[in-house]
Amino acid sequence: MIYAGAGQAITNINLKLIQAFLLVAESNSFKEAADATGRSQSAVSAQIRQLESQIGVQLFHRTTRRVAVTAEGRQLLGHVKRSMAELQSGLKQIRDSVEMRRRRIRFSCSPIIAAHYVPTILATFAQQFPNVEVYVDEVGSAGILEGVRNGTSAFAVGETKGDPGLDCDVFLEDSAYAVIPCHLYSTQGTTITLADVSRLPLVMLNSSTPMRTLVEDAMKKNDMTLGCRYEFTQTETLIRMAEAGIGAAIVPCYTLPIVLKPSVQALRIVEPNIIRRIGIVTPRGEKLSKTAAHLANVVKRVIVAESIRTKAPSSNERPEHDLLTS
């Protein structure tokens, strides 16, 4: 079917018409296309008629039961897909170019991750990108994702907590451990139940940390009471408190030192297992620039490499650790 407008200039075709055509062609449904764009079905149908009128060909066979792409529509669909891919590639190259000119990347992480890994991360990254400025926001669990949401941080090192607007590339699963003075609790095993932990005097990370939140949630679900005697910001302080015999310290596995003093033992908390999943958090559906992606890969490699635990915990051996990547 040829429309009266055939042969006229098509320079006034806009991307909204092309987008409507692409959605209808891929779904074979005006309704699904309307739902995807938040428009009415009649509005999408009007856009398709406008596009058909402008280019002078029929793009869809319409019946009361189904919609099918015409031969001309399939030909246009191929061109549109290639053009959209080329456009996306061009836009990404422009963003990458702008970022390289700016030579500045910002990411967010907890103070614990910053203290344990950021020095090695920055030194490793600087070897390949010596002129790129990296800014690190050390924030608590309540604000660690805020920079990703508002666009000030390229990514965060943490977890999404079910946020539908964020993606999380999980690369590490980290268990909670109790570092316990031997005079308070002694065992030949490598684990301790959360119930037994709850009966000990505890020194813990403060409430702004993800691990503290996980422990509190687990205790609440199991009708246990949290008896926190002291709280601090850094795990090194907690471990020193345990070594001094003041109480049992609950810390993430990746923060345990290679060697503990004989006066304490590190036991993985079970029943239930308390596990934190750590990943690179980005806005949903968005890809990092080449430079930011390289920095994110350095973050993953450094944390994984320095977190490898191969043996059961004791006073002089590292504990087991679950790694999702190598």
Query: Which residue segments constitute the domains of the chain, with CATH numbers given?
Result: 15-99 (1.10.10.10), 101-170+278-308 (3.40.190.10), 171-276+312-322 (3.40.190.290)
More confident residue, 92 or 238: 238
Q: Quote the pLDDT of residue 315.
A: 42
Distance CA 52, CA 70 (A): 12
Give 134's contacts (C-beta < 8 A, 6+ positions apart).
104, 105, 106, 107, 122, 125, 295
Calculate what percentage of the chain has a pLDDT beyond 70: 88
When the pLDDT of each residue in the chain is averaged and rounded to a whole number, the result is: 83
More confident residue, 160 or 78: 78
Q: Quote the pLDDT of residue 179.
A: 95
Give 126's contacts (C-beta < 8 A, 6+ positions apart).
132
Q: Quote the pLDDT of residue 100.
A: 60
Task: Give the three-class secondary structure for 280.
Answer: strand
Mean pLDDT of 167-193: 91
pLDDT in tens, 38-90: 788 888 899 999 998 888 899 998 887 788 999 998 999 999 888 888 888 88
State the burial class of residue 262 (Cβ atoms within 10 Å of its Cβ: 0-12, 13-18, 19+): exposed
pLDDT in tens, 125-139: 999 898 899 999 988
145 and 108 Cβ atoms separated by less than 8 Å = yes
How would residue 326 be classed by pLDDT, with cut points 50, 70 and 90?
very low
Tokens of 46: 């009007």
Mean pLDDT of 20-44: 86
Distance CA 314, CA 25 (A): 62
pLDDT in tens, 286-308: 889 888 999 999 999 998 887 76
Which residue in the block uniquely carries the two structure tokens 């296309």?
33
pLDDT in tens, 229-264: 888 888 889 999 999 999 999 998 888 887 888 999
Q: Quote the pLDDT of residue 319.
A: 46
pTM above 0.75, yes or no: no
| In the predicted structure, residue 324 carries a pLDDT above the cut 70 | no
